[in-house]
C-alpha cells in the first residue's frame, strides 16, 4: 500500500488575488479536523495581505518534502 500524498487547502483572495496554502496538519492546530468540509471553516478565513474575508478555498495535493 502506497502512502497518500499530503493534502492541503489552497486559498485565494477574491479581492487582491493573494494566494496561500494551509496543510491538513495545520488545520488541526486551528480546531478543524483534517477531513472537514471546507464549507465548515471557510467563513473564518481572511486574506493576510488585505484582510478581506472574500476568499475561495479548495483542496489540493501537495508535493512531498
**pLDDT average per 10 residues of sequence, the chain (65 residues):** 76 96 87 88 93 95 73
How far apart (Å, rounded) are the C-alpha atoms in residues 17 and 58?
A: 15
Residue 38, C-alpha cell as written in the block = 471546507
Q: Which pLDDT does position 62 carry in this prediction?
A: 80
Fold of 7-61: Rubrerythrin, domain 2 (2.20.28)
> What pLDDT shows up at residue 54?
96
Q: Give the pLDDT confidence score for residue 21 in this predicted structure.
A: 93
Q: Looking at residue 11, what is its pLDDT?
A: 95
Give the Cα separation of 31 and 52 in Å (integer): 22
The full set of domain ranges for the chain reads: 7-61
Amino acid at each position: 500500500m502506497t502512502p497518500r500524498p499530503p493534502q492541503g487547502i489552497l486559498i485565494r483572495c477574491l479581492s487582491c488575488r493573494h494566494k496561500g496554502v494551509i496543510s491538513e496538519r495545520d488545520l488541526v492546530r486551528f480546531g478543524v479536523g483534517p477531513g472537514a468540509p471546507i464549507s465548515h471553516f471557510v467563513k473564518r478565513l481572511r486574506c493576510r495581505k488585505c484582510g478581506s474575508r472574500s476568499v475561495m478555498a479548495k483542496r489540493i495535493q501537495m508535493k512531498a518534502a
